[in-house]
Amino acid sequence: MVKVMRSSPARTSVTLADVAALAKVSTSTASLAYRRTGSITERTRARILAAAAEIGYAGPNPTARSLKSGRSGIVGIIVAGTVRRAFQNPVAMATMSGLSEALDELDVGQLLLSHRSESGDRSARLLDGMPVDAVVFLTRGEEFDGLLPSMRARHIPMVGVEGPHEEGVTLVDIDDASGMAVLARHVRDLGHTRIGVVMRSTRIDANGPPGPIEPIDANLETISNRTIRERLRAVASVFPDAVRVEAGGRELDSGEIAAGRLLDQASPPTAILAQNDMLAVGTLRAAAVRGLEVPRDLTVTGFDGAHIPLLGRRLTTVEQPLHERGLQAGRMVGELLAGGAPSGIVLPVVFREGDTSGPPPRA
Partner DNA sequence: GCCCACTATCGAAACGATGCGATTCGCATC
Partner DNA sequence: GATGCGAATCGCATCGTTTCGATAGTGGGC
The contact set with a second copy (CB under 8 A) reads 8-9, 11, 13-14, 56-59, 61-67, 70, 72-74, 76, 82-84, 87-88, 93, 96-98, 100-101, 103-104, 107, 109-114, 122, 126, 128-131, 149-150, 153-155, 309, 339
Q: How far is the CB of 354 from DNA (least distance, A)?
A: 55
Q: How far apart (Å, rounded) are the C-alpha atoms in residues 302 and 91? A: 13
152 binds DNA (CB under 7 A): no
37 binds DNA (CB under 7 A): yes
Partner interacting with residue 109 (select from DNA, a second copy, none; CB below 5-8 Å by kind): a second copy
Partner interacting with residue 340 (select from DNA, a second copy, none; CB below 5-8 Å by kind): none
| Nearest residue (CB) to a second copy, 101 versus 264 | 101
16 binds DNA (CB under 7 A): yes
70 binds DNA (CB under 7 A): yes
40 binds DNA (CB under 7 A): yes
CA atoms within 13 A on the CB side of 354: 23
Among 39, 219, 222, 343, binds DNA (CB under 7 A): 39
Partner interacting with residue 112 (select from DNA, a second copy, none; CB below 5-8 Å by kind): a second copy
State the virtual CA torsion across 216, 219, 223, 227 in degrees, nearest 10. 40
Q: How far is the CB of 17 from a second copy (least distance, A)?
A: 15
207 binds DNA (CB under 7 A): no
7 binds DNA (CB under 7 A): no
Q: How far is the CB of 22 from DNA (least distance, A)?
A: 12
Q: How far is the CB of 97 from a second copy (least distance, A)?
A: 5
41 binds DNA (CB under 7 A): yes
Q: Give the Å distances, CA to CA, from 175 to 142, 144, 231.
A: 18, 21, 10
Is the distance from CB of 131 to CB of 304 less than 8 angstroms? Answer: no
Q: How far is the CB of 9 from a second copy (least distance, A)?
A: 6
Closest by CA to 324, choosing from 114, 175, 116, is: 175
State the virtual CA torsion across 303, 309, 314, 316 in degrees, nearest 10. -10
| Nearest residue (CB) to a second copy, 28 versus 119 | 119
Partner interacting with residue 35 (select from a second copy, DNA, none; CB below 5-8 Å by kind): DNA
Among 7, 69, 219, 267, binds DNA (CB under 7 A): 69
Peptide bond into 295 cis (omega under 30): yes
| Nearest residue (CB) to a second copy, 17 versus 130 | 130
Segment contacting DNA by CB under 7 A, of 17-25, 106-114, 177-185, 292-300: 17-25
Q: How far is the CB of 302 from a second copy (least distance, A)?
A: 18
Tally of CB atoms within 10 A around 236: 21
Q: How far is the CB of 133 from DNA (least distance, A)?
A: 14
129: left (phi > 0), else alpha (psi -120 to 50), else beta? alpha
Q: How far is the CB of 232 from a second copy (least distance, A)?
A: 31
Segment contacting DNA by CB under 7 A, of 11-19, 136-144, 267-275, 330-338: 11-19
| Nearest residue (CB) to a second copy, 96 versus 228 | 96
Q: How far apart (Å, rounded) are the C-alpha atoms in residues 77 and 316? A: 32
Summarize as ranges the residues that interact with DNA (CB under 7 A). Answer: 13, 15-17, 24-29, 31-32, 34-35, 37-41, 43-44, 57, 60-61, 64-65, 67-70
